[in-house]
Structure 1
Amino acid sequence: MNLESNVEKPSEGEDRTWRQQAYDIVFEADTPAGVLFDVVLLAAIFLSVLVVMLESVESIRLQYGGLLVGAEWFFTILFTLEYGLRIACAPRPLRYVFSFYGVVDLLAILPTYLIALPITSIADTQRLTTIRALRLLRAFRIFKLAHMLTEANALRNAIWAARAKVAVFLSFVVISVVIVGSAMHLIEGGRLDENGQAMPSGFDSIPESMYWAVVTMTTVGYGDVSPVTAVGKALAACMMLLGYCMIIVPTGIVSAEFAQAAQKNKILRVCEHCMAEGHDKDARYCKYCGTML
């Protein structure tokens, strides 16, 4: 079958080109070479993220700045080679470049090259601010872990399958926050001091009261806003208990869908035509586009 990239799926006994062999190593995870490639890439991602974290500590940056810069460029060049290899061996390079993982891979290497460019059109302080913002983009490397996490797709599919139930749950949470926030504004927002002046209570508006309701329902409890009246405390206690009851709902919904997804026997093979994953173990053709696997 001819693909847009003019790369054909070899038949049994036919010699495979280096692009097809590289594709199996880079994009697949069901061969020893593919597993080794993913393990090495996984370790490189962890180490590169660690370098970014250490660089943000001023004392470490002042003492080991040169070493950190060298490590940063090493990982950037390594990920650049990986990015180029993925483009070179992908049957449809543009499909990979503009895919989610392709954009993440580009964002993982682009900031380092942008930082190296001289910036002379803005003030030094603005330049430092820009560089710091670009350094933050290097945290996108952590998302490259999704290439190696087998269960990431299963979790994504479970969340997507439970989207209707999760939407109903979130709607209930929003309605509860609005109702309780309005009630707390009515109960606590109109308190007066001894001189008859309005006292700031943190419930002076419905949005501020809704903020307290969200903090309380999620069991965070910053303590910056709290009721003082008996009715307000009673309503707050109900909100806390409701939060404890509601916190397990989305976990149960997603877990049920995840358990159902885990019962399906999937493989890690990626379709060369549409780059889709999650095929059945005995599948010979892609269930999304029909291309032979």
Structure 2
Amino acid sequence: MKSVDAGNMTKAAEQLHVSQTALGLQIRNLETMLGVELLVRHSRGISMTDAGRLLYERGVEIMRLVDEARRDVSAFSKSSQQVVSMGLTPSTIRMLGADFLVSAHSELPGISLRVVEELSFILIDLLMRDEIDIALAYDASENTSALRMPLMEERLFFITAPGAPFPEGPVPFNEVIASNLALPGDRDNVWHAVHRAARNSTLPVNIRFSIQSLEMIKTLVEQGHATSIVPYGVVKQKIEEGKIVAHPIENPELGRTLYLIETPGRLSVTRDAKLKLFIDRLVDTLAERLGDGARVIGRCSEP
């Protein structure tokens, strides 16, 4: 039930590309056919009755079994390749480079890996719309129809232009948020990490530029017009070129968690043992290249 996942009829109708009236009529017809009420409508949206939850859970299981049967039957054809769509963030792709795609070709026989690069919240939206199979995304909130497995914790860094009035080494959090920050919008995981820490310390966050473009943020920082808070992978090349300086943040440190995210209807994808091992090696490589700024906390290939 898309209406359950979306939380209200309007969003569900938009996702299904039908009118809200038509969707409501379909649900009422289903309730009439089954002789039970499935959804309760209230001012905050909709919620499931016990009968609705049972139907939802059985429907998810049926979808999973159909998807698994399709994949298993297709495996009998030696010439067929299973296409797996994997969502990755820009910082992850920058750190891994093209190496992981070359490895996927040799390590995943029978699987054609399709990579989609987007910010974490966009990847989660794509996953919920069944446009990708799995995603490696950061700080995904709990969702009734998405499953999360934490794989890696990663530190965030304060970045400035060379010569900015900040000493080398760690910078206290209160000085970081008092600077002229350029940050993405409020759906971004970095924005949430900054504001969570600021709420705990009751300090205001000075956002000079709100920009949903990492390239523009890097340009503003490089030119000395702003500072920012980013994962190391976003600015690795600029740091190596001496165009940006990265400072650890202290009191408190800021970080984010990388999750493997999937939906119940796609569970058969990550049941593939070789794909599990490949994802684990991908995360190991990512953590190794991030150095002291990251650590592995979970593995797909272990029960």
Range into which the TM-score falls when normalised by the shorter chain: under 0.3
User: TM-score under structure 2 normalisation?
Assistant: 0.24
User: TM-score under structure 1 normalisation?
Assistant: 0.24
Question: Which protein has the bigger strand share?
Answer: 2
